[in-house]
Amino acid sequence: MPKIVTLQLSPKQAADEKFYVARAAERLGIRQSDIALARVVKRSIDARQRMAKVNLSIEVYIDKEPQPAPLHFDYPVVEHGTEVVVVGSGPAGLFASLRLIELGYRPILLERGKSVLSRKHDIAQINRGGEINPDSNYAFGEGGAGTFSDGKLFTRSKKRGDYNKALQTLVWHGANPAILYEAHPHIGTDKLPRIISNICRTITEHGGRVLFESKVSGFVLKEGRITGVKVGNDTIEGAAVVLATGHSARDIYELLHASGIAVEAKPFAMGVRIEHPQRLIDSIQYHRDERGEWLPAASYSLVSQEAGRGVYSFCMCPGGFIVPAMTNTQQLVVNGMSPSGRNSAFANSGLVTEIRLEDFAYLREEWGELAGLRYQQMFEELARQNSGERQIAPAQRVSDFVAGRESHSLPRTSYIPGLTPSRLDRWMPEGIAERLRSGIATFGRKMKGFVTDEAVVVGVESRTSTPVRIPRDSETLMHIEVEGLFPAGEGAGYAGGIISAALDGERIAEAVARYCKAHNY
Ligand SMILES: Cc1cc2nc3c(=O)[nH]c(=O)nc-3n(C[C@H](O)[C@H](O)[C@H](O)COP(=O)(O)OP(=O)(O)OC[C@H]3O[C@@H](n4cnc5c(N)ncnc54)[C@H](O)[C@@H]3O)c2cc1C
């Protein structure tokens, strides 16, 4: 059995392998030469005091005791396996496809957007203020919404699946093994695209198919069962259909609704993105002027209750960039991402508040179960109407937003298309603006310096969670009405975030396998 040694070190010591292995040997009372293998299994930062400490747990194997087997995935070839249609190549669709392969099924993965390489060009064009391709943008394309992101891999839903296996799968496909032990692992937008294309390569090399620029625009239904989907004039058939289209695919919700397939309105969250100079967040969190060479860009996680509703920070991106995440030109939507080094001069985060069913009840008569979707769309259109040309986003200094004042100028920003001053507090629905305002004031009391002229709120952060659920049976995980249809991931309303969507995709693949077995497909 390996020994576990827990050390509390300075950030510099924790970055020095020779130092911490020597310290571990000393702690165990053995010679360093007796150590066959020492590996970090957990790493977290404790920044509560002025001198931040790093907690390291190290697994030490001594002499000839058996060492852990190297990470290995052995996917079978499934060319002749039963075909299952998977719609959407986000984390849910990719991990569903990998799990289907492990279980001997052949995924036919359909993606409306382009491969990562071509998608990069479309994203660069959006950042330059150019055209927005409605099928190739920050939300759509190989790898889904998570490809050009921070790649945070933290999830609260670890119990919903094998969290470690999901991380190992990412490492097998090229992620830094440090994600296996970091307390808050992340990959970074510079590394994610290669990992995603490696996953797609695994799928095709093992007999699955991955078809880009293949937008599903119809479902083929026979006597209450789905037998395939329509892509242009073609029909793609399969024993089952996994629908993992994410929550930006409004046309899919509309298609389901128009086809008489049950969807349900659900509560969600919306708000703004907030951006501070990273050095300011570092100084607040690390209690000193400079974070120095060895500490990572600091982050925060804030929650409060305002007027009986939650206001919270979401998807915080230290050392990152705000990005234009809309899927067409009638909307203005922002989100955040960071490179692996988290080395930009800015810290941004979503700052959102709960949106309840009653907020959009007035839209129910006209929009039925899609009322929340319409409410979300109206919020994005309001942002568009109050913005500048193209992707220029409306913004207000944080101190002005809290005080209800106009901003005559704006601070520097990471948002490449640029910002324009706007009274967000005036044009947002009153309840949202008011709760965000008092939430930010509360956060300013928790983190001294958070409310400042140097920070800016940018409109709008609207795609944090889906306003529509595609309901599934709690046992079979199949759609409650349509046999063979398996809604998966964030768009279905059963996941939020990269890892949670990936775990949901795996669960769905297992449910598909049970279904196919029971019906001899
Ligand atoms: C900029 C940004 C940064 C983010 N950062 C993080 C982060 O750091 N950590 C984190 O956990 N989460 C992050 N998220 C959220 C995360 O990306 C999503 O939670 C996750 O990708 C959801 O996975 P999914 O597979 O359910 O759906 P998606 O990733 O949305 O994938 C759905 C896929 O389906 C495709 N599709 C849609 N309609 C059709 C159709 N009709 N036919 C064929 N294909 C279709 C889409 O093109 C897309 O590729 C970020 C999101 C964005 C936009």
**Could you report the per-residue pLDDT of 417-449, keeping only the tens digit for each?**
999 999 999 999 999 999 999 999 999 999 999
Residue pair 393/231 in contact (Cβ under 8 Å)? The answer is no
Residue pair 248/520 in contact (Cβ under 8 Å)? The answer is no
Q: Considering the entire predicted model, what is its pTM?
A: 0.97
How far, in Å, CA of 387 to CA of 364, rounded? 28
Which pairing describes strands 35-46 and 3-9: parallel, antiparallel, or unpaired?
unpaired
pLDDT of amino acid 66: 84
- Ligand 1 environment, Cβ below 6 A: 87-93, 110-113, 138-141, 144-146, 148-152, 215-216, 244-246, 248-249, 252, 315, 323, 325, 335-337, 489-491, 495-498, 501
> Which region among 62-76, 121-135, 147-161, 175-189 has the lowest average model confidence (pLDDT)?
147-161
CA dihedral 191, 197, 198, 201 (to 10 degrees): 180
In the block, residue with structure tokens 């190290």: 58
Greater model confidence, 226 or 67: 226
Give φ, ψ of 34 to 5 degrees: -80, -10
Residue pair 58/5 in contact (Cβ under 8 Å)? The answer is yes
Burial of 224 (0-12, 13-18, 19+ CB in 10 A): exposed
H or E segment at 351? strand 346-355
Distance (Å) of CA 474 to CA 480, 508, 511: 9, 11, 11
Strand ranges in 95-244 using DSSP code E only, listed in sequence order? 106-110, 209-211, 216-222, 225-231, 234-237, 241-243
Structure tokens at 311: 């206001």
**Could you report the per-residue pLDDT of 274-304, keeping only the tens digit for each?**
999 999 999 999 998 889 899 999 999 999 9
Locate the ligand 1 atom nearest the alpha carbon of residue 323 and give its number. Answer: 1
Q: Name 444's bridge partners.
A: none
Locate the ligand 1 atom nearest the alpha carbon of residue 252 and give its number. Answer: 41
Average pLDDT in the 452-478 region? 97
Locate the ligand 1 atom nearest the alpha carbon of residue 146 and give its number. Answer: 17
**Could you report the per-residue pLDDT of 390-399, keeping only the tens digit for each?**
899 999 999 9
Average pLDDT in the 26-55 region? 93
pLDDT of amino acid 1: 87
Q: Which of 115, 127, 140 to mutate to test the pocket of ligand 1 (most atoms within 8 A of CB)?
A: 140
Average pLDDT in the 506-512 region? 98
Structure tokens at 70: 């190297």
Q: Which of 148, 149, 252 to mutate to test the pocket of ligand 1 (most atoms within 8 A of CB)?
A: 149
Q: Which residues contact 411 (CB under 8 A, 6 or more apart)?
A: 277, 397, 453, 454, 455, 456
Residue 160 pLDDT level (bands cut at 50, 70, 90) = confident
Average pLDDT in the 319-327 region? 97
In the block, residue with structure tokens 């059963």: 494
pLDDT of amino acid 414: 98
pLDDT of amino acid 183: 92
Residue 410 CA to ligand 1 centre (angstroms): 31
Q: Has residue 109 got a pLDDT over 90? A: yes
**Residue 259 one-letter amino acid:** S
Average pLDDT in the 125-129 region? 95
How far, in Å, CA of 179 to CA of 24, rounded? 22
Q: Has residue 49 got a pLDDT over 90? A: no
Classify domain 3-62 by CATH number: 3.30.70
SS3 102: helix
Structure tokens at 113: 């957007």
How far, in Å, CA of 259 to CA of 306, rounded? 39
Structure tokens at 238: 């399969």
pLDDT of amino acid 225: 97
DSSP 301: -
CA-nearest residue, atom 46 of ligand 1: 140
Residue pair 287/278 in contact (Cβ under 8 Å)? The answer is no
pLDDT of amino acid 62: 93
Average pLDDT in the 43-52 region? 90
Mean pLDDT of the chain: 96
Of 47, 12, 499, 498, residue with least CA distance to 301: 47
Q: Name 9's bridge partners.
A: 54
Average pLDDT in the 491-501 region? 95
SS3 67: coil
Residue by residue, DSSP assigns 404-426 as T---SS----S-TT-EEE--HHH
pLDDT of amino acid 70: 85
How far, in Å, CA of 242 to CA of 240, rounded? 7
pLDDT of amino acid 100: 98
pLDDT of amino acid 126: 96
Q: Which of 98, 490, 499 to mutate to test the pocket of ligand 1 (most atoms within 8 A of CB)?
A: 490
Q: Which of 85, 110, 150 to mutate to test the pocket of ligand 1 (most atoms within 8 A of CB)?
A: 150
Of 458, 381, 390, 450, residue with least CA distance to 422: 458
Locate the ligand 1 atom nearest the alpha carbon of residue 91 and give its number. Answer: 25
Which pairing describes strands 3-9 and 53-62: parallel, antiparallel, or unpaired?
antiparallel
Q: Has residue 331 got a pLDDT over 90? A: yes
Burial of 87 (0-12, 13-18, 19+ CB in 10 A): buried
Structure tokens at 471: 């309901």
pLDDT of amino acid 290: 87
pLDDT of amino acid 289: 87
Residue 292 CA to ligand 1 centre (angstroms): 35
Centre a 10 Å sphere on the Cβ of residue 86 and count the other Cβ atoms it contains: 33
How far, in Å, CA of 96 to CA of 94, rounded? 5
Q: Has residue 376 got a pLDDT over 80? A: yes
Calculate what percentage of the chain has a pLDDT beyond 70.
99
Residue 246 CA to ligand 1 centre (angstroms): 5
Q: Has residue 203 got a pLDDT over 90? A: yes
Structure tokens at 160: 């919903």
Residue 77 CA to ligand 1 centre (angstroms): 27
DSSP 70: P
Q: Has residue 157 got a pLDDT over 80? A: no
Residue 115 CA to ligand 1 centre (angstroms): 14
Residue 60 pLDDT level (bands cut at 50, 70, 90) = very high
pLDDT of amino acid 150: 87
Residue 149 CA to ligand 1 centre (angstroms): 10
CA-nearest residue, atom 19 of ligand 1: 497
Q: Has residue 130 got a pLDDT over 80? A: yes
pLDDT of amino acid 502: 97
CATH 3.90.1150.10 given to domain 83-263+470-518: no
Domain boundaries, the chain: 3-62, 83-263+470-518, 265-461
How far, in Å, CA of 132 to CA of 258, rounded? 26
